[in-house]
Chains A and B, each alone.
Chain A
Amino acid sequence: MAKLIELEGIGVVYPVHGQAPKTVLAGLNLEIQRGEFIAVCGQTGCGKSTMLRLILGAEAPTSGRVLIEGEVLARPDRNRGYVPQKYSLFPDKTVLDNITFGPEMEEFNILGRMTPKFFRRRRELRETAHALLKQMGLDPMDAHKYPDQLSGGMQQRVAIAQALIMRPKILLMDEAFSALDPATRSGMQRLLRTLWAETGTTILFVTHNLHEALYLGTRVVVLGKQNSQGSSNVIADLSVPASSRNDDGQLRRDELDRLIHQVEQAGEPQLAEAYS
């Protein structure tokens, strides 16, 4: 396992109009290895999305460095896939076009999209997209629908397919299942674990739900307030080895209690409480 991402002494300060600037993260260090499934958990407003945006490159830290394979990258790129909670699909494109959009953009420029080669390639891509849809458990009938004709769960499946077709080095998901009803949500969680096991993609999944984090992650990172200024940092970094899970992927009772106890000890009793 090699280091994929390093956060080195990250600080993020936002200017607030008419008030003192708000420090969201201070002195945060984190290393992510290739192939990990990291679940980032913490209470609302603790800076989870901010951390994800830093790794994505959509935002630069006020201090410190974000290294992707040892390099500082200033912008989101094709190596880092993104599945947000909302607006995850392009509303003007069908399911199929949403999925093939990435490779089409990457491989062809505006003139290239008029050549026969493009249309040949698009046929291939559509087959790949169909295969991905199947893997996501979606009906081929849905391939020509527009996003707003799909349920929330289906939309997020398509969004995952859209990101995975690029074979990103890391998949970043921000509360990707938070808008789903409980049954759909646990179905999606199972799907995501299966996909992770099958593709070996590194995944960073942000959630405010400890249950979700513990079910999904091979490692659970808890962000929390570290001091009276209200800035956040990693307060617990728990590894969840495969041996602590049953065959169905659920944590064993004793492991679960141990991990929850650790979160409580780390200073986030509310997170643990909301769990039970």
Chain B
Amino acid sequence: MLWRIDATPGRSITWTLSWFLFIAGIAMYFYASHNRHLENPDDKVIPSLNQLAEGVENAFLKPDSEEAAPDELANASMATKFFTSMLWTDTVASAKRFLWAMLLLIPAVFLGLHMGMFPVIGELFLRFILFFDKIVALSVLPILFIAFGIDELSKIMLIVIGVTPTIILDTFNLTKSVPKEQIVKGFTLGAHDFGVTYRIVMKQILPRVLNSIRLNLKAVMLFLFAGEMIASQDGLAFRIALLRRHMGMNVIIPYVLWVALLLFLVDLGMKVANKRLHPWFREA
């Protein structure tokens, strides 16, 4: 019965099933870690719980070691410690780049919208953007470094090159998919080109555009991390790359989980905002 396609597992079974792989994964991890530590107590490849706890404390509660740790921080509160920690400094640095990239997606959405609405703009940009979309963003990284230097601009440009063509083309296609009836209707109700563009078409596609951006968050992070790993003095990916040289697995693993948590929260935030802003929208 349980294996049939029309099975209806109860609450407890559903709950157990959905968490099973997490628990099994964690168990297997600590089993492997335990075995390695029996052979070599100083093993760093699969850190034990104690090593992980130490790594978390170092990363989450101690300031970046390169700045000499001031003594007054010793009795500061947990929150103060956290907000001066290495992890937090790195998070802020990466978040700044992330936000810049997100801001640059706004013009991308507008470009896609106008390309879809105004044939002349569409013809001007479409072929070029399609070409741009095929460029492997990482392959132009050297060009970016040469052109913009290895500072912030080239890292943000990498994200822009990697993600904006997709967003532009997605918005373009969404704009094109608005039924012709709606546009004619707009004209018959006294709207002009911009009224139809912003008050009818844009309003209708906005929730879908936001969903498309949500789907592309991973790509944004991918290019952000690539840029940071290759040329950066700070940021989450810079730290992970740096720690690799010292085999700092006990910090890398918490960093990876932290990044996953952040991405999950950003995605969730956008999902909730989308629902709130567009109560009429039903996800297909």
Contact = CB atoms under 8 A, between A and B. Distances in A.
B183 to A, nearest CB: 9
B181 A76 contact: no
B188 A56 contact: yes
A43 interface: no
B280 A146 contact: yes
Given A91-B204, A92-B203, A92-B278, A102 B189 contact: yes
Interface in A77-104: 77-78, 80-82, 84, 86-88, 90-93, 101-103
A147 B186 CA distance: 16
A88 B188 contact: no
B280 A91 contact: yes
A81 B189 CA distance: 7
A29 to B, nearest CB: 24
B190 A82 contact: no
Interface string A61-83: 00000000000000111101110
Nearest to A171: B188
B187 A75 contact: yes
Contacts of B186: 105
Interface string B234-248: 000000000000000
B179 interface: yes
B263 interface: no
Contacts of B279: 146
B188 A81 contact: yes
A146 to B, nearest CB: 4
A166 B204 contact: no
A75 B187 CA distance: 8
Contact of B189 (A56, A87, A106, A147): A106
Interface in B193-220: 195, 199-200, 203-204
A84 B280 contact: no
B184 interface: yes
A88 B196 CA distance: 15
Interface of B: 179-182, 184-191, 195, 199-200, 203-204, 278-282
Given A84-B184, A92-B280, 6 more contacts: A77-B188, A78-B190, A87-B185, A92-B278, A101-B189, A105-B199
5 contacts: A56-B188, A58-B180, A87-B182, A88-B181, A92-B278
Interface of A: 56, 58, 75-78, 80-82, 84, 86-88, 90-93, 101-103, 105-106, 146-148, 162-163, 166, 168
